[in-house]
Chains A and B, each alone.
Chain A
Amino acid sequence: MRPTQAAGTTTGEAFQDGNVLAGPFREFFTTDLTTATGTCAACGRAGPLAELRVYTHAPGMVARCPECDAVVMRMVRGPEAAWLDMRGTTALRIPLPGE
């Protein structure tokens, strides 16, 4: 049925872009965080969160650095709260639209 799938079953292809975080983030942030620049605690790469590699089939969502593969962010949504674990991120620069 899906011959490309055979090549695609390596874990290397199981991720999506940080774009997929846009909706979940908007559940608790009022601005789009995927255009914010995040700095990786492991390698220092700075880039938009939209470029992270996101694994949604893990428990919760796990975002890894596209440069060094370190986990930079993890998000778990429970029935009453969301957990955002950001120990892999040293800084977030959030663009603010002018008034």
Chain B
Amino acid sequence: MTFTTDTNNTLEHHKFAGISLILKQVLKQDANSTNSVALESWLSDIQPAPVWIPLQIHDGITKIMPVLPDSGLYSQLTASICQYICGGNVSQCLNWNNKSYQFTGVEVDSDALHVILVSISANEPLPPTLGRAIHAQCFQWFATANPALSEHLHQQNILPFTVGIQYTSRQRIQLKITLLKPELLAPLLWGLSQNIGSEITLAGIPCRLGQWLNVVESSSFEKLMKLPTQNTIELQFVSPTSFKQHQNIQPFPLPELVFNSLLRRWNHFAPLDLHFPEVKWQGLVSAFDLKTHALKMEAGAEIGSVGWVKYRFLDPEQARIATILSRFAVFSGVGRKTTMGMGQVRIKN
């Protein structure tokens, strides 16, 4: 199968979220025998020139993302990569961080839903609540790529991203950012690339971002629709979760509160043909282990539940929708203040 010019047309109409180059490390003596070029000089004729972000190595595979500020530019980037390959430059060695690599292929990411992990460390103990500071930092990263996008996001009632903070020690956190729109990955990574491996200030404390990014999970609304139905769903609330019920705060994750919150978000972000009708939930809580947790925010404490709940659905259609929504919850979070670290969930079964 060789490259044909017809594929250029399909590239222009394709929606890209990101592109990764797949590289294989080569031995030093092999690298010396051929002409090698710096990875950064690759595709430098593209304007703006891509920034190169390494992803954490999984199963031995080295992936490096050429990142542009706007996902609309990726079709041009892919076409340039293909032209470069067809120009016979594939056998060249690429240098990256003083190591030699062989280019083996390209991975195209068209998914809408992403989970990104970034490690952050500080020289002094971090405050127990960083939600607000990281929320602001995320807007800053979006603004670096596109100030209008950041402003537009700021005005939204339902935001297409969430933030999760996991403390690995008093001075280290794992920042989890989830995205619900494919076009947000490029601007976020572009903004993040300015700070990778360097310092930022969070809540007045100088912090350092890790050298790697980790896109741990990606999926699409279409893929989630194909999940096999489960009658029992066990959700783990890893950060305090609460809901607004009749103008009050309800910390207990009742089935209708959890799944209505997810259904609203699903219908807001999913393509129109995948929307669900309104559901009168008849789910039951069959088991739980929860405790309340007070999260200190600037405006006061926010109470939420932490722990796990097992839900059971007797109606097969409700079970089907709940299965899809519970998987979606990993990306969208549940309940209130999901962009400040609340409502982060995992699926236990």
Q: Do A and B bind each other?
A: no
